[in-house]
Structure 1
Amino acid sequence: MARKLSLIAMLIGLMIVLTGCFNIEEPIKAESEGIWDSYFVYPLSWLLIYFADLFNDNYGLSIIVITILLRLLILPLMIKQTKSAKAMQDIQPEMQKLREKYSAKDQKTQQKLQQETMALFQERGVNPLAGCLPLLIQMPILLAFYHAIMRTEDINNHSFLWFALDAPDPIILPIIAGITTFIQQKMMMVADNPQMKVLLYIMPVMIFVFAMFFPAALTLYWVIGNLFMIAQTYFITGPKRQKDENAGGAKK
């Protein structure tokens, strides 16, 4: 889990660094050259304009539609990630027993603990790194979408609901982004895991701070993406989890 947290931190840092490395001042056009602009940024920019035209020049609705399309595109991977998180949650009692059994800190005992933990993962069909692949895929998409928003000139001077899309929303949208991030993290949190509990509070704060400085169009993407994930997580694990809890309560 510590490795997963390190990977998340590294990817977030990489996204921030890459955001500064690329020229976001240069408008994105069909004539833009390079693999990044031609195959990542421009297709998303084209979709932004295409759906905005369909919705009577409404770029807010365009962003919502594209966000849903992107989430549907990676839905199989996200389902795998959600099921992996639930599987990790289910085996926590057994992992705790192993930690108690091999509580000594000497190297030989810790190696034995790692071996039996991996055997438990294999027996129960759990892949502790399954949640990393969707993250690796999402980061380039998020960065490309950020560039598409920043470099699509047509989006300038457009607004949606109460906020301008090409400028940061000072407080309301960042708060919504932080709250939905917290709910999403909470629903996917592995029980009694200190590292995940730290992430539960760090991620919403980070998203809130980023949202205060990024264009509101990008924050809108985060919010819609979070709502999609909340609904997805509930329908995959929520009803079953509630049923299990009710069954456990009945046995007591």
Structure 2
Amino acid sequence: MEQNSLLTFIRKYSFLILLLAFLLILSGCSNNFTPVDSSSTGFFSHYFVYPMSLLIKKTALFLQGNYAVAIIVITIGIRFALLPFFIKQSKNSKESQGKMALIKPEMTAIQEKYKGKNSPEDRLSMQKELSALYQKHDFNPMKMVAGCLPMILQMPILIGFYYAIRRTPEIAEQSFLWFSLGETDILFVLVAVLIYYLQARVSLNGLEQPQRKQMAFMAVISPIMIGIISLNVPAALPLYWAVSGLFVIVQTLIIKKTIHGT
């Protein structure tokens, strides 16, 4: 029962957990924003930041020196690269939800059977019966938290992208639309926050009412946290988030329509 509660908690707040981890990593990293190149020392700088910076420069060179468009193109490329993982996760989620609905009456009966029995023997017996039930229906509870995988895969990319933007001086010298890529722009921060709010709301479509109530918290907290981060970084990073958010909105609508039929 405790394991199921833990899995439910991880699934419910996976984005928040990873976003907090991102903030902790950034706060713990060195504030080294000197230009990065092939001679830069440090494992992360050499193998993550420099390649990302080089990718941005090469893409911008191909696009006649437009670093904003380069960031947009790279962002879309990253999202397409991660798309198969999100599709697989969505299929696994639908399959797991179907099996969970099927075994829930039996699972509830087992939990009721051991309600109030807290001895090690009783808890072990309950886990054995639950495990046998899962095996009978070929149900793996860990698949229910597999949705974290695409977000986990994004972490080194996002952090590498963050430092590549901060340590590629050519980016800060350019502007896009009404804002400078190298400075914080409050109006564009609001744009990124709005896009992330819409992304969170779209993710609620098709969910049952209890699930909607549980996930509604994320529709508020995730845009706020994105806004807080964006107020402390150059506008080039919120540009990445805004484009990524728009892609995810379209991706979510298509997946929900084709896989979940909602």
Q: Give the TM interval when normalised to the shorter protein.
A: 0.7 to 0.9
Q: Would you say 1:169 and 2:176 are equivalent positions?
A: no
Q: Would you say 1:65 and 2:65 are equivalent positions?
A: no
Q: Would you say 1:146 and 2:162 are equivalent positions?
A: yes
Q: Rg bigger for which structure?
A: 2
Let me know the Cα RMSD of the aligned residues: 3.2
Counterpart of 2:210 in 1: which secondary structure? coil
Q: Mean Cα displacement is larger for which, 198-207 or 100-109?
A: 100-109
Counterparts of 1:167 and 1:188 in 2: how far apart (Å)?
A: 39
Cα deviation, residue 102, structure 1: 5.3
- Structure 2 counterpart of 1:248: none
Q: Would you say 1:48 and 2:24 are equivalent positions?
A: no
Counterparts of 2:106 and 2:14 in 1: how far apart (Å)?
A: 25
Unaligned runs of 5+ in 2: 1-7
Q: Would you say 1:182 and 2:200 are equivalent positions?
A: yes
Cα deviation, residue 164, structure 1: 1.7
Q: Would you say 1:12 and 2:19 are equivalent positions?
A: yes
Q: Would you say 1:234 and 2:242 are equivalent positions?
A: no
TM-score (norm 1): 0.79
TM-score (norm 2): 0.76
When residues 76 and 174 of structure 1 are mapped into structure 2, their CA distance, relative to the original with a 3 A threshold, is closer
Among 195, 211, 215, the alignment partner of 2:230 is: 211
Question: In the alignment, residue 137 of structure 1 is paired with which amino acid?
Answer: L
Q: Is the 8 A contact 2:67 2:171 kept in 1?
A: yes
Counterparts of 2:220 and 2:104 in 1: how far apart (Å)?
A: 23
Q: How many residues align?
A: 243
Counterparts of 2:209 and 2:160 in 1: how far apart (Å)?
A: 34
Cα deviation, residue 160, structure 1: 1.2
Q: Percent identity?
A: 32
Cα deviation, residue 139, structure 1: 0.9
Counterparts of 2:108 and 2:255 in 1: how far apart (Å)?
A: 32
Q: Is the 8 A contact 2:53 2:164 kept in 1?
A: yes
Cα deviation, residue 93, structure 1: 4.1
- Structure 2 counterpart of 1:83: 91
Counterparts of 1:229 and 1:44 in 2: how far apart (Å)?
A: 22
Unaligned runs of 5+ in 1: 246-252
Counterparts of 2:215 and 2:86 in 1: how far apart (Å)?
A: 18
Q: Would you say 1:136 and 2:136 are equivalent positions?
A: no
